[in-house]
Amino acid sequence: MKARVQVMLKSGVLDPQGEAVKRVLGTLGFDGVRGVRQGKVIELDLDGDDRAKAEKDVTAMCEKLLANRVIESYNIEIA
C-alpha cells in the first residue's frame, strides 16, 4: 500500500522559498505568476492492506514528525 502526504505552510505563514521562486519566474519572463507557495510531498510504502490502519498510522506520523503542526497543514492520500 502507498501513502502520499502533501505538506504545505498554513495560509498567513510567510513563505520565503515561494517568494524566491516567484521572483525568479518573473526574471525568466513568466510575468503572470501572482503567488507561489512551496511545500513538500512525502511518499511512503506501507506493509499490509488495511486502509483504515494505514490512514491512522500515517496521520500519527504527520502529527509526530512529518509536519510542523504550528505552521504547516497536511493532506494524506492512501492508494
Each residue's pLDDT tens digit, 19-67: 999 999 999 999 999 999 999 999 999 999 999 999 999 999 999 999 9
Give me the CATH number covering residue 44: 3.30.1280.10
Q: What is the pLDDT of residue 1?
A: 96
Which single residue is written with the C-alpha cell 498554513?
A: 10
Q: Which element (helix H / strand E) includes 19?
A: helix 16-27
Number of domains in the chain: 1
Which own/partner pairs from 54-62 qualify as long-range (CB within 8 Å, at least 24 positions apart)? 54/1, 54/3, 54/78, 55/3, 58/3, 58/5, 61/5, 62/5, 62/7
* Nine cell digits for residue 78: 492512501
Range of the domain at 15: 2-78
| pTM greater than 0.85 | yes
Q: What is the pLDDT of residue 3?
A: 98
